[in-house]
Structures are given as C-alpha cells and as structure tokens.
Amino acid sequence: MPRPMVESVNCSLIAPEALVERQPISIKLLIDNEEVAVIAVKTEGAVHVYRNQCPHQGRLLDFAPGRVLAKDDALVCAAHGAVFAMADGRCLQGPCRGESLAEYALEPQADGRLSIAGLKTSG
C-alpha cells in the first residue's frame, strides 16, 4: 500500500485530509524556528499531533525512518514496546505506563489546515 503523503508546509501547518485514519506518520515540523520530530495521526476523524519522544527513554517511536507502528487504536514505540492511545497519547502498556506523549494544541486555519499552537499542558 502506498504511504500517504502529508503536506507539512513551513510554519507547522498540517492538512488533515492528507492523513489516513489510524495511519500515523512521523515527520519533522518547524515549531518556533526549531525542527521538531512529531507524530501526526487521525483517529475518529480528529487529528492529533504528538512530540515524537517516548517518555520511557526519550527515543523516537519510529520502527523505520518516518514510520510508526499502529496497532488497533494505539501507537507502539519500537524501542521497548510501549503502547500509547492514539486519542490522547496516554501510555496504556509498557515501561512508561501512566505517562503520556506530549501533545500539541492545534488551531484550524481558514483554509482548513491546522497550525501548531504549542504544547498542551496536563492539568
């Protein structure tokens, strides 16, 4: 199956229609003038963008460059198998159970794309 192409335009814009439901992608975005590795995923029609940094040991979740394993409604870290809910980034299983991937807040733009508005804070 061909990999979906995701438009990540300068200044951290993501085109939601380019994401395929439950097929996460690992990309780099320019956030505050810094290149940041993120995972973008759409589940139940909602787009989520997480920092691609596992809370266990800080590694990328990728099993290959740009590829993150999806299992049911979860993302799986290739390093030691931590399983994170796609919908909120919470670790459901594995060595960092109870911790979460850092999620970015998204702001819809007039053209339908989403811009990164900064990291959400857990409260």
Task: Enter the tokens of residue 67.
Answer: 């590829």
Q: Which is nearer to ligand FES, 45 or 98 (CB)?
A: 98
Q: Which is nearer to ligand FES, 30 or 99 (CB)?
A: 99
Least distance CB 80 / ligand FES (angstroms): 3
Binding of residue 77 to ligand FES (CB under 6 A) = yes
Binding of residue 82 to ligand FES (CB under 6 A) = yes
Query: How far apart are the C-alpha atoms of 2 and 25, rounded to whole Å?
Result: 13
**C-alpha to C-alpha distances, 74 to 23, 100, 114, nearest whole angstrom:** 10, 12, 22
Phi, psi of 18 (to 5 degrees): -85, -10
Binding of residue 83 to ligand FES (CB under 6 A) = no
21 burial type by CB count under 10 A (0-12 exposed, 13-18 middle, 19+ buried)? exposed
Binding of residue 69 to ligand FES (CB under 6 A) = no
Binding site for ligand FES (CB under 6 A): 54, 56-57, 59, 77, 79-80, 82, 94-95
